[in-house]
Amino acid sequence: MTGPGAAGGREAAGGREGATGPGIRRWHAELAWLGRGDVRSRVLIEASGGVFRAVTPDVPAEVVPPGTERRPGLTLPGLANAHSHAFHRALRGITEAGQGTFWTWRERMYQVAGRLSPDSYLALARAVYAEMALAGVTCVGEFHYLHHGPGGSPYPDPNEMGRALIQAAAEAGVRITLLDTCYLTGGLAPDGTPEPLSPVQQRFSDGDAGRWADRLAALGPDEHGMLAPHARAGVAIHSVRAVPPGQMHPVVEWSHRLGAPLHAHLSEQPAENDACLAAYGTTPARVLDGAGALGPRSTMVHATHLTHHDIELLGGSRTCVCLCPTTEAFLADGIGPAGSLAAAGSPLTVGSDSHAVIDLLDEARRVELGERLASGRRGRFGAVALAEAATVAGHTCLGWPEAGEIVPGAVADLVTVRLDTPRLAGATPATALESVIFAGTAADVTDVVTGGRDVVRNGQHLLVPDVPAALTSALRPLLA
């Protein structure tokens, strides 16, 4: 049990104000999951300067200070979407007509990528991040590789696309870790030979890792990797398909220098493993390990098709794994070894990746449901473990370990899920977290606070007033 006001031992960040000082905000949650702890009732949550100052369960409604906001339902910490490609949102639905494979889906994705400009990407990403905010996401990890103009020509500011994403996140009220992605080759042929970049892929490439590093330097992260108060720099190796091992070192070096998260796609498809074996004589996980790319600050995305030794390598190095179960199902990737990875020592996080749907509650429960389908057993991951994957573990793998828990000193992110919706009616306080994780959806999220600021209230986004209209107007020209 988490004691009153004693949930966690974080140092408060920023200037500390008194409990009755200026700028203080208070919420009284009917039920709140206090991160890692139990669900508690009648929780008085106080914040100032964007940081929680006090968290006190069992406070009767009659004694809360004037101005305290009531929060019926279950209040959670902010959700972290640890893996996003914002422009993939354009493919929702349209790639479901007919059949195909991961690789035919990728061709459609390249068509959309070929049409984007900084202005149209800003409009699309703002709308997509607003959709995320409505679903309770307070921080997104954007795995960003669409760097350059048509034919690979750099924009006047070579980071124009990345800056559009940072601006989009600000305008949608979410924090962002811009995972600036090194992408150099067109893939590996089945026999392991490198393939040239296709015309669209030329937009992704800086030519070599040295020039990738120069462009990242021009993006201007400070010594802590911050790009803006809401934005932090991370780095990414697209995959062993797109970055030769000899070009990985500058990316790893940047991660060490800034203390920045390093992400990579890993073993999403068997064909990637086969080509990697043909090219380098070993698995993608071993190639990345050989480049120094594994460790507690690193996150491997998908990790679907692993050997026993790969799992030991990831777990033993405490490398985080980001599962994207809806995308992995939509693209027929397979079911990754989540239980074995967790047992080996890898923290698990979740992401909506291709945005076939944006619903982090769905992603989280599918980690357990996939495990059940693959093993024939129930209950490998309980609601607390799944909620941790969608909150504190996700924020940590994006370089925001100070977020994702409702404890004093943490970033003041709150997500409230109503329990009186058709899906959740009948939920009981004792199993409210189980109800929300195993039956809740993005549509049950009513209120979202990011860094102490209201972003969603009563199901309405306060910064992007009509999110469906914003999505429609951003998507239409891309699909024409």
- Residues noted as catalytic: 302, 353
Q: Looking at the chain, how many residues does it have?
A: 480
Phi/psi at 445 (5° precision): -75, 125
How many angstroms from the chain centroid is the CA of residue 43? 27
Helices (H), 146-248: 160-172, 209-219
Count Cβ atoms below 10 Å from residue 135 Cβ, excluding itself: 24
CA 166, CA 177: separation in Å to the nearest integer? 9
Footprint of Zn ion (CB under 5 A): 353
Note whether 143 and 237 are within 8 A (CB). Answer: no
Three-state DSSP state, 410: coil
3-class DSSP state for residue 20? coil
- Token representation of residue 1: 């049990």
In order, the DSSP letters of 32-73 are: EE-SSS-EEEEEEEEEETTEEEEEESS--GGGSPTTPEEEEE
- Which lies closer to Zn ion via its Cβ, residue 328 or residue 353? 353
- Containing H/E element for 445? strand 445-450
How many CB atoms sit inside 10 A of residue 327's CB?
A: 25
How many Å apart are CA 113 and CA 107, to the nearest integer?
10
Q: Tell me the C-alpha to C-alpha distance, in Å, between residue 71 and each of 42, 145, 253, 419, 451.
A: 9, 39, 45, 11, 17
| Least distance from Zn ion to the Cβ atom of residue 298, Å | 15
The label of the residue with tokens 């070579």 reads 158
Q: Which is nearer to Zn ion, 59 or 390 (CB)?
A: 390
Closest-approach residue to Zn ion (CB): 353
Query: In sequence order, which residues have a C-beta less than 8 Å from that of residue 428 and are 6 or more positions away?
Result: 435
| The pairing of beta strand 348-350 with beta strand 137-144 | unpaired
